[in-house]
Amino acid sequence: MAEAEALAAGGVRELNLIAQDLTAYGRDLQPQSSLAKLLVQLDQIKELRWIRLLYCYPNFVTDELLDAIAGLAKVVKYIDMPLQHADDSVLWAMRRERSGAALHKLLERVRARVTDVALRTSFITGFPGETEQAFGRLLDFVSAEQFDRVGVFTYSREENTAAYEMAGQVPERVKRERRKRLMELQAEISLRKNRDLVGCELEVMVEGPMPGRVTRMRGRTPVQAPEIDGMVLLRGEAQPGEFVRAKINQAFSYDLAGEVTVATT
């Protein structure tokens, strides 16, 4: 809290909470706390505008946490929850402790408790034992769930890990080809979602000028995390650090373009 208050006093308006497993926060404290309780405190810092959660482990996305995300004004409706895969056999090999059916139910619960939540996740292609059928189930899962953002990584074989000696190592070219297919699928989903925003007016945080574009600024909406998601290309009067309203007039696979309608702060 002291660090967050100091950052806010220094001009920071967006706070990103980042951890390998953010949902583990507070379990080692005495008395025990939780990520939801921390969010309630952070939400009271007057100068902050957005609070974002990155890397929430699926098993510990509790109703308490979801209610905090849904109910706290400064916590953006954005959850980054790395799922890694959706095929039961691959999830078991990864020791992820969930089935594809359980992941469907989890995502249904998240969407039911947090209206209009933006979901980001990441997957691994080519984990040892991933057959073409298993990869097909991952494609079906992504097609069914329609995530807002997806990152895809190929499995990297590292010595001194449990997976290093596993049978069924997947050739590099197959890993890359599967990654390409999954990214192409997500690009289609992302483009459709972005096209649905054309004509809408959104809140945008202005980050700065577009390199090589004198007349354009770049910014982000509450559901675009810095560096890993797309951006909004802006025309109109805006200064870095401002929050503006922008009418979206063009959609791309990952980015949006719009006109500033009014500066809010």
Q: What is the mean pLDDT of residues 213-239?
A: 88
Closest CA to 219 of 230, 228, 211: 230
Q: What percent of the chain has pLDDT over 90?
A: 82
Name, in order, each residue with C-beta under 8 angstroms of 152's C-beta and a sequence gap of 6 or more: 122, 123, 124, 125, 179, 182, 183, 186
Give the per-residue pLDDT at 160.
81
> Model confidence over 114-150: pLDDT tens digits?
999 999 999 999 999 999 999 999 999 999 999 999 9
The rounded distance, in Å, linking the Cα atoms of 130 and 213 is 44
The reply to whether the predicted model has a pTM over 0.85 is yes
Give the per-residue pLDDT at 214.
59
Q: What is the mean pLDDT of residues 168-197?
A: 96
What structural domains and CATH numbers belong to the chain?
A: 2-195 (3.80.30.20), 201-263 (2.40.50.140)
pLDDT exceeds cutoff 70 at 226 = yes
pLDDT exceeds cutoff 80 at 233 = yes
pLDDT exceeds cutoff 70 at 213 = no
Q: Residue 158 — pLDDT band, cuts 50, 70, 90? A: confident
pLDDT exceeds cutoff 70 at 264 = no
SS (H, E, C) the chain: CHHHHHHHHCCCCEEEEECCCHHHCCCCCCCCCCHHHHHHHHCCCCCCCEEEEECCCHHHCCHHHHHHHHHCCCEEEEEECCCECCCHHHHHHCCCCCCHHHHHHHHHHHHHHCCCCEEEEEEEECCCCCCHHHHHHHHHHHHHHCCCEEEEEECCCCCCCHHHHCCCCCCHHHHHHHHHHHHHHHHHHHHHHHHCCCCCEEEEEEEEECCCCCCCEEEECCCCCCCCCCCEEEECCCCCCCEEEEEEEEECCCCEEEEEEEECC
Q: Which two tokens stand for residue 103?
A: 């992941």
Is residue 260 within 8 Å of 242, Cβ to Cβ? no
pLDDT exceeds cutoff 90 at 215 = no
Q: Which two tokens stand for residue 264?
A: 């809010």
> Model confidence over 61-78: pLDDT tens digits?
999 999 999 999 999 999
pLDDT exceeds cutoff 90 at 88 = yes
Give the per-residue pLDDT at 23.
93
> Model confidence over 25-36: pLDDT tens digits?
999 999 989 999
Q: Which two tokens stand for residue 129?
A: 């034992």
Residue 224 identity (one-letter amino acid): Q
